[in-house]
A = this chain, B = another copy of it.
Amino acid sequence: MINLFDFPGGPVLARQARPLARRLQALKQRFHRAGSPIIYVNDNFMHWQADFKELVAVCAHPDAPGAEIAERLRPQPGDYYILKPKHSAFLCTPLPLLLAKLGVRRLVLTGIAADACILATAMDAHAREYAVEIPREGVASRTPRLRDLALATLQGAAGIGISRLSRIRP
């Protein structure tokens, strides 16, 4: 979600991501209150020459298209964060080791884009035998149709649970 939205289709995706950020802010508070770990997994669009908090600062700049989103979802003390080089949060990242350390076997995936990073991450999580849940209003794509196509594929292919935000328990 912490993003410059400077790629083809970026502005269209940002339009979907803004209301999503509000919903995720509320979900994040529920997780915080329950003491459940929150892990940011972010593209390193500054090519391994910047830190995550520097990426947040760049994206939260008032003129940036993702400023409101970065503000709302700014990491808080106790949050974990990982930078990823590719779509999947599992490819060439410490995520599997962090999850093992935290004793986590159930993942709730949220964010953007449902038909790219979420899709790849969910497939990889399923292959590694994590329980995966995706709340439909917790993810977004450039269009609701692309989102629903990806979620239908995940549900059909991997039996991944697609649920409602209100049903997610931290």
Distance of A96 from chain B, by nearest CB (Å): 7
Complex interface: chain B residues within 8 A of A93 (CB): 92-94
Q: Tell me whether B98 and A94 are in contact (CB under 8 A).
A: no
- A79 at interface by CB-CB < 8 Å: yes
Q: Tell me whether B152 and A149 are in contact (CB under 8 A).
A: yes
A129-170 with Cβ < 8 A to chain B: 146, 149-150, 152-153, 156-158
- A87 at interface by CB-CB < 8 Å: yes
A77-110 with Cβ < 8 A to chain B: 77-88, 91-98, 101
Q: Of the candidates B83, B98, B153, which one forms a contact with A115 in the assembled complex, judged by CB atoms under 8 Å apart?
A: B153
Determine how many copies of this chain the complex contains.
4
- A73 at interface by CB-CB < 8 Å: no
How many Å lie between the Cα of A51 and that of B80 in the bound state? 10
Q: Tell me whether B101 and A94 are in contact (CB under 8 A).
A: no
How many Å lie between the Cα of A77 and that of B139 in the bound state? 35
How many Å lie between the Cα of A150 and that of B151 in the bound state? 10
Distance of A154 from chain B, by nearest CB (Å): 9
- A123 at interface by CB-CB < 8 Å: yes
The 6 closest A-B CB pairs, nearest first, are A51-B51, A85-B94, A153-B153, A115-B157, A85-B97, A48-B80
Interface residues, chain A, with chain B CB atoms under 8 Å away = 39, 44, 47-49, 51-54, 77-88, 91-98, 101, 115-116, 119-120, 123, 127, 146, 149-150, 152-153, 156-158
